[in-house]
Amino acid sequence: MPKTLTTTDALADFCARAADAPYVTVDTEFLRERTYYAQLCLVQLALPGEGDDDAVLVDPLADGMDLAPLYALFRNRSVVKVFHAARQDLEIFHVEGGVVPAPLFDTQVAAMVCGFGDQVGYETLVRKIAKASLDKSSRFTDWSRRPLSDAQKTYALADVTHLRQIYEHLSARLATSGRTHWLEEELATLTDAENYVVTPEDAWKRLKLRTTSPRLLAVARELAAYRERTAQEKNIPRNRILKDDALMELASTKPKSVQDLSKSRLLLRDARKGAIAEGLVAAVKRGLDTPPDKVPHVPKARDRSGMNPALADLLRVLLKAKAEEAGVAAKLIASASDLDDIASGLHDGIWATGWRREVFGDDALRLIEGKIALSAIGQKVKIVTV
């Protein structure tokens, strides 16, 4: 059965071994349905090798367990930390330990770069690269309950044992293809700690807004900031305090008293009284009292009035051809909106930077400038220098 580490000393011993390894594969199990911050319930770790001690489970819920040795390992730049679809894991470790593991290798991102498609799942890579299958029976489980069953432990450990072979395969392909710098570009954003800092004052930007009224937006901003701060303080999901549709309703009706909240159709019962109700009314007042030069504004839509539809169609053909040539999904290089921007003379998208510019952006600009043309030979599109 998988080995479970339940003491800080045992974790420190494993991390000391890991410090001498070229890489360690990492995964987590957590719960988030009832809390604002994810509750870390299990950490899976594996080192190169096939021994019983090379892959372990770490129980962060065990009495006295301190994850400091793990966070020290995450800061050790001589050991590559390998994850699959790492974003949620990285957020947890940043919140729990104030650390973003580095250097990082995300096999989902690497698989995209290697031509496996957009957001390829771990199960697919296990099947295609490790030539194995996964037991799905414990996929939906309460990882906070103890003791964990043998089936749960085996399921969890498989998330890092197969990851070793996947990492070695993908890293070798990247080195052979010369695309390692593609991966580094994609991971730069993922490893930026600022991505995992939630600022309540910016929470309104996640709302689906159907208005450009600055005053209404000012009220919505204050309500969203109050909701975010309260959810963080109470460690409960933000929608348990105020759902988005109720927030926008209050931003529109602008209640001036707790009594006014009773007129809301969408407000949860617990938000109509007590401290939360008072907080909502105060947030509305702050929004109404915001000076005119401090109110928020929705960014203006990009001006595509000068778009050349024929050029946009040509760019779509070019993108499809270049994506097939590179072996990556077209939408990972540029979106349909990007192509419309290019055809409108707006040339500042992500397609114009880094590896995307190598694959598509330079030729897109040459096409616009009339330096190349497109020719069809059978089912292939050929670029012709003009």
Domain boundaries, the chain: 3-196, 200-289, 309-385
Reported as a single tens digit per residue, the pLDDT across 216-239 is 999 999 999 999 999 999 999 999
Reported as a single tens digit per residue, the pLDDT across 282-339 is 999 999 999 999 999 888 878 888 899 999 999 999 999 999 999 898 888 999 999 9
Length of the chain: 386
Q: Which residues pair with 40 in a beta bridge?
A: 30
Structure-block tokens of residue 293: 């030069």
CATH of domain 200-289: 1.10.150.80
Integer CA distances (angstroms), 126 to 23, 140, 163, 382, in order: 18, 19, 8, 36
Question: Residues 315, 343: contact at Cβ < 8 Å?
Answer: yes
Q: d(Cα 83, Cα 167) in Å, to the nearest integer?
A: 9
Q: For residue 376, what pLDDT is reported?
A: 87
Judge whether 3-196 and 309-385 match in fold.
Answer: no
CB atoms inside a 10 Å sphere around CB 300 = 7
Low-confidence ranges of the chain (pLDDT < 70): none
* Residue 127: DSSP 8-state: I
Under CATH, which architecture does the 3-196 domain have? 2-Layer Sandwich (3.30)
Phi, psi of 254 (to 5 degrees): 50, 65
Q: d(Cα 207, Cα 239) in Å, to the nearest integer?
A: 12
* Cα-only R_g, the chain: 25
- pTM (2 decimals)? 0.90
Query: Which amino acid does the sequence have at 53?
Result: D
Q: For residue 299, what pLDDT is reported?
A: 81
Q: For residue 140, what pLDDT is reported?
A: 80
Q: For residue 42, what pLDDT is reported?
A: 98
- In the three-class reduction of DSSP (H, G, I as helix; E, B as strand; rest coil), residue 142 is classed as coil
Q: Which of 127, 4, 112 is nearest to 58 (CA)?
A: 4
Q: d(Cα 352, Cα 377) in Å, to the nearest integer?
A: 28
Q: For residue 173, what pLDDT is reported?
A: 96
Fold of 309-385: DNA polymerase; domain 1 (1.10.150)
